């Protein structure tokens, strides 16, 4: 059975981009007699609030999104992430890192930043040989050791949607380019002992997700998730990346830039059909 998920972070009010993603995921599931799961991605306690979480349920209900089972909340699952983190550590694939705060911020705060062709700095490996304790440190994945562990040159995943540059079908990721583009990325942040990358990979496996449906701003970080799946002996789901909803200037909608929320639209009297027609006009 096809199982997909909608995985919002309660860091603000849902906007049209979330509505679009939720509708597409629901369509995918309905067209395949599948199941839609809801996951609240709230590991970043500095940005997530329970009020935003409550509003997510209200907005999704108003949008007519129906999910199966009880939603899971990542903040309830920290011990599960810690279990898998220890597995990676036992394989000798991780190391503690005490580098600066700005390194840490960059690695964790921007899961939505396409890396390909960007000037994002790759961690230079300063702490790789320091043998720092894994307790109370940021923990990085040693990418060279991970590649050696897998004994492969490439990883594959199946793209059933499209990436930002029209990528579709089987995607072959060279492990050398993965090492070059991502370096030793943080898989557990000192304060919460997990990261977006680790949590999303573990949850997709634990929820038995067969199709990951999400915005194509996450397409270029997918190789990091495929790598973690292989290292943890998880199945690789299919990916269905979709285009993003943009504003009148072609910019991606974002909570932090104050894009108009579903709640505002609703309170100003817009009905569901109007919202749906706005999505058709703004999809890119
Ligand atoms: N929580 C992420 C977001 O709200 C989605 C992550 C994902 O779908 O993998 O952007």
Residues 279, 277: Cα–Cα separation, whole Å: 5
Domain contains 82: no
pLDDT per position as a tens digit, 85-107: 999 999 999 999 998 767 645 55
For a ligand 1 pocket test, name from 4, 5, 6, 9 the mutation site with the most ligand atoms within 8 angstroms of its C-beta.
Answer: 9
Is this structure's pTM higher than 0.85?
yes
| 167 within a domain of the structure (yes/no) | no
pLDDT tens, 178-227? 999 999 999 999 999 999 999 999 999 999 999 999 999 999 999 999 99
Find tokens 């694939």 and name the residue: 93
Ligand 1 pocket mutation pick from 4, 5, 8, 75 by most atoms within 8 angstroms of CB: 8
Give the pairing type, strands 35-40 and 72-73: parallel
Q: Which atom of ligand 1 is nearest to the CA of 8?
A: 4
Within a domain: 170 = no
Read off the CATH number of the domain in which 8 is found.
3.40.50.620
Identify the domain containing residue 2 by its residue range: 1-74+245-284
Q: Is the CB of residue 218 below 6 angstroms from any atom belonging to ligand 1?
A: yes
Closest ligand 1 atom, residue 204 Cα: 9
Residue nearest to atom 2 of ligand 1 (CA): 8
Do residues 184 and 129 make contact, with C-beta atoms less than 8 angstroms apart? no
**DSSP characters for 139-205?**
EEE-HHHHHHHHT-SEEEEEESS--TT---EEEEEEHHHHHHHH-S-EEE-TTTS--HHHHHHHHHH
- Name the more confident of 84 and 245: 84
Q: Are 206 and 79 in contact (CB under 8 A)?
A: no
For ligand 1, whether the C-beta of 8 sits within 6 Å is yes
pLDDT band at 258 (very low <50, low <70, confident <90, very high): low
Alpha-carbon distances of 172 from 61, 83, 101, 189, 237, rounded to whole Å? 38, 29, 33, 29, 15
Q: Is the CB of 244 under 6 A from ligand 1?
A: no
26 CA → ligand 1 middle, Å: 16
Query: Is 142 within the bounds of a domain?
Result: no
The pLDDT score that the predictor gives to residue 139 is: 97
The pLDDT value given to residue 43: 96
Residue 12 Cβ inside 6 Å of ligand 1? The answer reads no
Q: Beta 35-40 vs 138-141: how paired, if at all?
A: unpaired
Distance CA 108, CA 68 (A): 29
| d(CA 217, ligand 1 centre) in Å | 10
- Residue 141 resides in a domain: no
Output the CA 40–ligand 1 centroid distance in Å.
Answer: 9
- Whether 117 is covered by a domain: the verdict is no
- How crowded is the C-beta side of 29, counted as CA atoms within 13 Å? 23
Q: Compute and round to an integer the Cα radius of gyration of the chain.
A: 19
Q: Is residue 251 part of a domain?
A: yes
Is the distance from the beta carbon of residue 200 to the nearest atom of ligand 1 less than 6 Å?
yes
State mean pLDDT over 226-239: 98
pLDDT bracket for residue 114 (50, 70, 90): very low
Number of domains, the chain? 1
Structural element, H or E, at residue 231: helix 222-231
Could you give the CA distance from residue 139 to residue 142 in angstroms, rounded to a whole number?
9
Distance linking the first and last C-alpha atoms of the chain: 30
- H or E stretch at 39: strand 35-40
Evaluate whether residue 271 is within a structural domain. yes
């Amino acid at each position: 059975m096809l199982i997909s998920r909608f995985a919002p972070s309660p860091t603000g009010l849902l906007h049209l981009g979330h509505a679009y993603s939720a509708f597409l995921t629901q369509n995918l599931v309905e067209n395949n007699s599948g199941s839609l799961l809801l996951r609240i991605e709230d590991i970043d306690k500095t940005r997530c609030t329970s009020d935003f979480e409550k509003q997510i349920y209200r907005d999704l209900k108003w949008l007519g999104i129906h999910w199966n089972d009880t939603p899971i909340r990542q903040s309830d699952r920290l011990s599960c992430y810690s279990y898998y983190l220890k597995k990676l550590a036992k394989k000798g694939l991780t190391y503690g890192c005490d580098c600066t705060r700005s390194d840490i911020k960059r690695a964790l705060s921007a899961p939505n930043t396409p890396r390909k062709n960007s000037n994002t700095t790759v961690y230079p490996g300063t702490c790789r040989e320091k043998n720092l304790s894994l307790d109370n440190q940021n923990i990085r994945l040693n990418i060279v050791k991970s590649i050696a562990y897998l004994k492969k040159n490439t990883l594959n995943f199946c793209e059933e949607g499209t990436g930002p540059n029209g990528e579709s079908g089987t995607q072959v990721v060279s492990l050398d380019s993965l090492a070059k583009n991502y370096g030793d990325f943080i898989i557990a942040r000192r304060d919460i002992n997990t990261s977006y990358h680790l949590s999303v990979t573990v949850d997709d496996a634990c929820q038995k997700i067969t199709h990951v449906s999400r915005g194509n701003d996450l397409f270029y970080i997918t190789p990091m998730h495929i790598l973690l799946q292989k290292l943890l002996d998880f199945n690789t789901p299919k990916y269905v990346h979709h285009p993003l909803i943009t504003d009148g200037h072609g910019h991606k909608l974002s909570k932090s830039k104050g894009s108009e929320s579903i709640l505002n639209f609703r309170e100003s009297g817009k009905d569901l059909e109007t919202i749906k027609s706005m999505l058709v006009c703004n999809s890119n």
